[in-house]
Amino acid sequence: MKLIILGPPGSGKGTVAERLEQDFSFFHISAGELLRKEAITNTLQGKKIKALIDAGHLVPDEFIHDLIQKKIGNKRKYILDGFPRSVEQARMIEDFQVNKALYLAVPEDLIVERLSGRRVCAQGHHGYHIKYLPPKKAGICDIDGSALIQRKDDLPAVIKERFKVFHEQTAPVADYYQKKKMLIIIDGSGSPDEVYRLVRKVLQLETTNTFK
């Protein structure tokens, strides 16, 4: 099964995808994660990517498409988290034969609260929230013991810009999959456990009825 997970910044895409990876053995491909890895390479390209991410802007479609395609390789069971983020990117992966696009719907005021309290570990993999998903020891990742940091693009001015980009470029991707009858809208406003329960319910139904 091939899944796309869509939603505004801070809607919980990464958290859901991580859990799907653990429980359903999906190969989790996070576009943001791939790009952050590129951004820390001390190359001209890395610096350009870092500047785009830090400003809340999208990187060029071709670039992220190529990274994603390379990462997928010949995998057949994966979840794309944060890709596609523009209709152009969605068109580029028509031939991937994705089964479903899950859309996590979350009101904007809740998202601002989520993003401003979000922390990630320095290794870049594990996400926390100071209020909703705190680590056992403040400032330290439960899983790999690295320091928890606040992403630059989770600062208020950049959050605003990311919303703008989301409305202009990514929201139309949901319409694109709606028209193809591939979109499943999920209420993403609950706790991580509640949202994941909804996702699992939907996927188990889909798994039983449609996919083998």
| Shortest distance, position 52 Cβ to ligand AMP, whole Å | 5
Residue 100, CA atoms < 13 Å, CB-side half-sphere: 17
| Shortest distance, position 207 Cβ to ligand AMP, whole Å | 26
Of residues 109-148, which lie at the interface with ligand AMP (CB under 6 A)?
none
d(CA 46, CA 85): 20
User: Is residue 32 involved in binding ligand AMP (CB under 6 A)?
Assistant: yes
Of residues 154-173, which lie at the interface with ligand AMP (CB under 6 A)?
162
Q: Which of 7, 8, 9, 12 binds ligand AMP (CB under 6 A)?
A: 9
Element (H, E) at 46: helix 44-55
Q: Which of 17, 35, 195, 199 binds ligand AMP (CB under 6 A)?
A: 35
- The length of the chain in residues reads 212
Smallest Cα–Cα separation from 143: which of 155, 133, 153, 132? 133
The single residue listed with the structure tokens 């979840």 is: 79
Contacts with 32 (C-beta within 8 Å, 6 or more apart), sequence order? 14, 53, 81, 82
Q: Which of 7, 56, 127, 188 binds ligand AMP (CB under 6 A)?
A: 56
Stretch that binds ligand AMP, among 52-60, 116-124, 137-145, 176-184 (CB under 6 A): 52-60
d(CA 35, CA 53): 8
Q: How many amino acids of this chain bind ligand AMP (CB under 6 A)? A: 18
User: Is residue 58 involved in binding ligand AMP (CB under 6 A)?
Assistant: yes
Are 198 and 186 in contact, with CB atoms under 8 Å apart? yes
Q: Which of 19, 28, 85, 118 binds ligand AMP (CB under 6 A)?
A: 85
Stretch that binds ligand AMP, among 16-24, 54-62, 96-104, 105-113 (CB under 6 A): 54-62
Residues that bind ligand AMP (CB under 6 A): 9, 31-32, 35, 52-53, 56-59, 64, 82-85, 89, 153, 162
